[in-house]
Amino acid sequence: MKKNMGTADRAARVIIAVIIAALFFTGVISGTVGIVLLVLAGVFVLTSLVSFCPLYLPFGLSTCGKQEGEAA
């Protein structure tokens, strides 16, 4: 699995996940919407940990910049 997420992208996802979790656990968001957003936050954290976003793959997107050994 080739990395396709840069540091800024990973950090933004973790920050968004923390905000969603805080809103859920303080009761600001709840119900079905809260659970869906909490699952999304979990996906954000997971993809940040592995530096790979499967949704970027079909579109050929990458936010990690140039990797070592990659041609220009």
Encode pLDDT of 7-62 as tens digits. Answer: 999 999 999 999 999 999 999 999 999 999 999 999 999 999 999 999 998 988 88
Alpha carbon distance 26, 13 (integer Å): 20
And the tokens for 46? 């997971």
Report the greatest alpha carbon distance in the chain: 49
Total-model pTM: 0.82
pLDDT at 65 over 90: no
pLDDT at 70 over 80: no
